[in-house]
Structure 1
Amino acid sequence: MVTGSPDMKSSKHHGKNIQKIRVYMNVKQEALATDLGLSQQGISALEKMEYIDDAMMDKIADVLGVSADLIRDFDERNVINNINNVRDCSFSDNSINSVAGTFNPLEKIVELYERLLTSEREKVEILRNKSNNE
């Protein structure tokens, strides 16, 4: 299921990446554990593992609604750099260039996470309603 691998090629810590993404999405360990059929302690142990096998990574990615590659390669610095560099993109209507002087990457990160949180809350509500109707 979940194993450590001494011959891992990547220096990324899968468990820490899962934890960061889970926290950014405001998903509690208990909720993730329920969706994966694990205990909260199992999720805690999983988040301490440097390497997580592909099958488990795919399950976690599916539950969190992200790709497994995003979890494996997650890097906060790259996320911030990508947001900072968005103003360097050119759009046909030049809309991004008109706000380049007032662009605040932290506000964009907060906005993104608020949208993700709203989406997750809607999913939880739909699942609750579905389970109550069964």
Structure 2
Amino acid sequence: MTTSEKPINQHIGRKISRIRELRCIKQEDLATQLGVSQKTVSRMEQSEVIEDELLENVAKILGVTTDAIKNFTEEAVVNYFNSFYDSSVNHGTFGNYYHCTFNPLDKLIEVIEKNEKLYERLLASEKEKIELLKDKK
């Protein structure tokens, strides 16, 4: 009697779910790109096995290969991030999402200045209203 044992941790749906989360893609977005409902994506992520054609489509949307999904492990992700010597350097696919092309402090100062101008206009408008009310008396 021969038994076919499944390799450990071959739940493809969970792997897709985890990769999707790491790529910051919502179920709704994946569903839209696949042309299915969010509920269908949820069921797919609960499935242990997924047909090859669907897996290829999901892999394209997630920006990975089907082999990457099949061989995905949390340990590999941890090792990937722990292998960085300097986390400020742009490394690979994940780093591209966090590359800042502006100085955040400049943007903050810009917003504060806009807020001050808006406050000054509001104050001037209120002063005008007060003057108009005084003139009517």
- TM-score higher than 0.5 here? yes
Following the alignment from structure 1 to structure 2, what is the Cα–Cα distance between the partners of residues 52 and 79? 22
Aligned to 1:36: 34
Deviations 1:16-50 (A, max 9, x none): 00000101111000100010011000000000001
Structure 1 unmatched runs, 5+? 1-6, 87-99, 119-134
Shift of 1:80: 1.9
Aligned residues: 95
* Percent of pairs with identical residues: 34
TM-score (norm 2): 0.57
- Which residue in the other structure is 1:79 paired with? 77
User: In 2, are the aligned partners of 1:33 and 1:43 still within 8 Å (CA)?
Assistant: yes
Equivalent AA in structure 2 for residue 115 of structure 1:
N
The one-letter amino acid of 1:34's match is: T
Code of the residue aligned with 1:32 in structure 2: it is L
2:13 corresponding residue in structure 1: 15
TM-aligned CA deviation for residue 9 of structure 1: 4.4
In 2, Cα distance between the equivalents of 1:116 and 1:8?
39
Q: Does structure 2 conserve the Cα–Cα contact (< 8 Å) formed by 1:14 and 1:50?
A: yes
Q: 1:47 aligns with which of 41, 45, 63?
A: 45
The aligned residue for residue 26 of structure 1 is 24
| Amino acid across the alignment from 2:77 | V
1:115 aligned residue (93, 96, 103)? 96
RMSD over equivalenced CA pairs, Å? 3.0
Q: Deviations over 1:62-116 (max 9, x none)?
A: 1111101111110011222344457xxxxxxxxxxxxx6xx67xx88xx964534
Alignment gaps of 5+ in structure 2: 100-137
1:31 alignment partner AA: D
Please say if residues 15 and 49 of structure 1, whose CA atoms lie closer than 8 Å, have aligned partners that are also in contact: yes
